[in-house]
Amino acid sequence: MDWWKDAKFGMFMHWGLYSQTAGYWDGHIAKGNEHFMIHEKISLKDYGKIANDFNPVNYDAEKWVLTAKQAGMKYIVITSKHHDGFAMFNSPSNDYNIVERTPYGKDPMKALVDACHKHEMKFGFYYSLGRDWEDPDVPTNKPFKGGRSNLVDYPDEDIKVFSRYFERKVTPQIKELLTQYGKIDIIWFDTPEGISLEESKELKDLILSIQPHCIINSRIGNSLGDYKVTEQEIVKGLEVEPWEACITMGKNWGYIEYDTIYKSSELMTRQLLEIVSKGGNLLLNNGPTAKGEITNLAQERLAEMGVWMKQNSEGIYGTKPWNVQSERLTEVSKNTEMVNASEEENTMKDNLHDGTSKEIFPEVRFTSKYGFIYAYVCSPTEKEVLIKSLSAQKDIKIKSVSQLNTSEKVVWKQTKDGLKIQLPDDNQNEIPIIGFKIQLK
């Protein structure tokens, strides 16, 4: 887990047959977005026809990896099989996969893993564990019995036996993912649903028997994972145990053509700092197109974040939380981005729900490393800030204050009220967040 705890920032990628339809079905906007097979009650036969047109001719694995790396990300996690049951890899055990069913006819995962290895990017496979709409033996019970099952092709929940699916599909495919590509750093399960304790143990033992250094998220089920996951939410306070927030850039996980309102690079950098200050990692999602391209909106924001990270990441990678996570500098909001997605009466809202704050206001986020305190002044509105958490009355004696990535002298003074810092006149970065390194006496 050491590399993972130090990494702080990764790229999540949702890519599958749903990318081909891009949010539409049968001439209309599809209900359920990338989950539309269930919401639109589409048969497996009809949904599977999407594969006839799936041909990512512009897919460039190395470009994906370099986009992530230049953004300051340290690992990539991609959907090897989402809830629709379609494998985005060569799966000899099940022919419902990209190699056998699409005109593309190749395994894109091999190129991606190879590119990650080449560029020293850690790599993980996402795998939908407790939902699979291709297999006849996957019952669900949220938000009600059969609520997330394929009831069009397999309507009788009572005859479904999870263990048959587990042995027939999960076990062989996990073996394939761990034996066909060389070193795999993470297996990122989703939706444990009805998996038993014995099956979770068996799965973990299988993974570690093949790749002993592979880490596993909490969604293997039954409290057996190495770290916990929050989805579209950031924890309220400091978390001692390893945790990761997976968050979308837009509203959706997969590519939706009309999803064109993305979080700003400023907001996403603030969310990264919030998560890191609370001891977590950010797994930031984007959904590539069916042609195999990361959207321009995602690329623009990732490039801006990358410039900022290059200048300011010293206080992010390898850090630990300080004894204070944040300090608000004013009670007035600068603005509020992207209001939360409306909560539907139907609780099958996991494809759209985003519980993260969209507020942008002046605050300071803190981290620590090697005895230094790092203070990130976020979205300031004044030329001078007073950081009360660093007052002389708190038994903190400051020796020096320097701005990250510059040799310019910082004008500062520690008083009983706090640490006063004169902010630079000209912040060259697109993202108005200024990082300071504070050395104590």
| Tens digits of residue pLDDT in 267-302 | 999 999 999 999 999 999 999 999 999 999 999 999
Write down the pLDDT at residue 101. 98
| Lookup: tokens for 237 | 């306070």
**Dist. CA 321–CA 389, nearest whole Å:** 14
Q: Are 69 and 61 spatial neighbours (Cβ–Cβ below 8 Å)?
A: no
Please, are residues 412 and 399 in contact by the beta-carbon 8 Å criterion? Answer: no
Which of 55-59, 241-245, 313-317, 429-433 has the least mean pLDDT? Answer: 429-433
Residues in the chain: 441
231 HSE (CA, 13 A, CB side): 15
pLDDT of residue 343: 34
Mean pLDDT of 188-195: 96
User: In this predicted structure, what is the pLDDT of residue 344?
Assistant: 34
Strand pairing of 398-403 and 335-336? Answer: unpaired
Closest CA to 71 of 217, 338, 249, 213: 249
Residues in a beta bridge with 335: 360
Give SS3 for 402.
strand
| Share of residues in the chain with pLDDT > 90 (%) | 90
Give 99-125 pLDDT, tens digit per residue. 999 999 999 999 999 999 999 999 999
The pLDDT assigned to 354 comes to 87
Give 366's Cβ-side CA count (13 Å radius).
19
pLDDT digits (tens, 9 = 90+) for 351-365: 567 889 899 999 999
240 sits in the region (left: phi over 0; alpha: psi -120 to 50; else beta) called alpha
Per-residue pLDDT band for 395 (boundaries 50, 70, 90) equals confident
Q: Is 376 in a helix, a strand, or coil?
A: strand
Q: At what angle do helices 61-70 and 108-118 cross, to 10 degrees?
A: 40
Across 195-290, the runs of DSSP E, i.e. the strands, are: 215-216, 228-231, 243-248, 280-286
pLDDT band of 349, cuts 50, 70, 90: very low
The three-point CA angle 113-2-277 to 5° equals 105
Q: Which residues contact 156 (CB under 8 A, 6 or more apart)?
A: none
Checking if the pLDDT of 377 tops 70, the result is yes
Token readout for 419 is 């640490």
Spatial CA neighbour of 211 closest among 169, 172, 163, 176: 176
For the stretch 300-342, pLDDT in tens is 999 999 999 999 999 999 999 999 999 999 754 455 454 343 3
DSSP state of 247: E
Give tens-digit pLDDT for 211-224: 999 999 999 999 99
Torsion of CA 303, 117, 130, 194, to 10 degrees: -120
Average pLDDT, the chain: 94
DSSP 346: S
Strands 186-190 and 384-387: unpaired
* End-to-end CA gap in the chain: 32
pLDDT, tens digit (0-9, with 9 covering 90-100), for 198-213: 999 999 999 999 999 9
**Greatest distance between any 2 Cα atoms in the chain:** 72
Residue 243 or 142, more confident: 243
Please check the confidence at residue 428 and state whether its pLDDT lies above 70.
no
Of the listed ranges 1-5, 12-16, 392-396, the least confidently predicted one is 392-396
CA distances from 45 to 15, 37, 146, 222, 244 (A): 20, 11, 20, 34, 36
Task: Categorize the per-residue pLDDT at 225 as very low, low, confident or very high, splitting at 50, 70 and 90.
Answer: very high
Q: For residue 427, what pLDDT band results from cuts at 50, 70 and 90?
A: low
Give the E-state strand segments of 36-95 in sequence order. Answer: 75-81
Taking the CB of residue 397, how many other CB atoms lie within 10 A of it?
A: 9
Confidence at residue 351, expressed as pLDDT on a 0 to 100 scale: 57
In the chain, what percentage of residues exceed pLDDT 70? 94
> 0.85 exceeded by the pTM?
yes
More confident residue, 425 or 148: 148
- pLDDT tens across 401-416, in order? 999 988 889 999 999 9
Residue range 15-50, pLDDT digits in tens: 999 999 999 999 999 999 999 999 999 999 999 999
Given a cut of 80, whether residue 389 has pLDDT beyond it is yes
Which of the pair, 142 or 125, is modelled with greater confidence? 125
Cα–Cα dist 350/79, whole Å: 16
- Give me the mean pLDDT over the 221-238 stretch: 97
pLDDT at 345 over 80: no
Q: Which of 134, 209, 119, 200 lies closest to 165 in space, CA to CA?
A: 134
CB 335 within 8 A of CB 26: no
- Long-range CB contacts (< 8 A, 24+ apart) of 382-385? 382/329, 382/423, 383/422, 383/423, 383/425, 384/420, 384/421, 384/422, 384/423, 385/329, 385/420, 385/421, 385/423
Count of alpha carbons within 13 angstroms of residue 205, beta-carbon side: 6
**How much is the pLDDT for 21?**
98
